[in-house]
């Protein structure tokens, strides 16, 4: 169910579920497969994460999941 609200800053916020999206076309699937096959390229704007940064991110995600801020299924899909 797609829903539009206005937040405290006067910005429009759209909330929707995956079921609200159009089904993927064959062209969409082809583009996603092509992108998935390419190597990840890091640069100065997007450097690789250190082991410490990854550990901190995993801890933050775990804590958010424990506080019910994100669904556990999403947490497990993210890591």
Around 8, how many Cα atoms within 13 Å sit in the side-chain half-sphere? 0
**Residue, of 69 and 46, whose pLDDT is higher:** 46
- The answer to whether 21 and 1 are in contact (CB under 8 A) is no
- The per-residue pLDDT for 19 is 75
**Residue, of 19 and 25, whose pLDDT is higher:** 25
- The per-residue pLDDT for 37 is 92
Q: What is the pLDDT of residues 22-63, one digit of tens each?
A: 888 899 889 989 998 999 899 999 899 899 998 998 888 887
When pLDDT is averaged across residues 52-75 and rounded to a whole number, the result is: 72
């Amino acid at each position: 169910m797609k829903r539009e609200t206005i937040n405290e800053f006067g910005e429009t916020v759209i909330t929707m579920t995956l079921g609200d999206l159009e089904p993927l076309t064959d062209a969409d699937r082809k583009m996603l497969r092509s992108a998935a096959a390419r190597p990840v390229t890091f640069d100065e704007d997007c450097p690789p994460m250190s082991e410490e940064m990854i550990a901190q991110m995993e801890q933050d995600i775990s804590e958010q999941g424990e506080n019910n801020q994100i669904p556990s299924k999403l947490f497990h899909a993210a890591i």
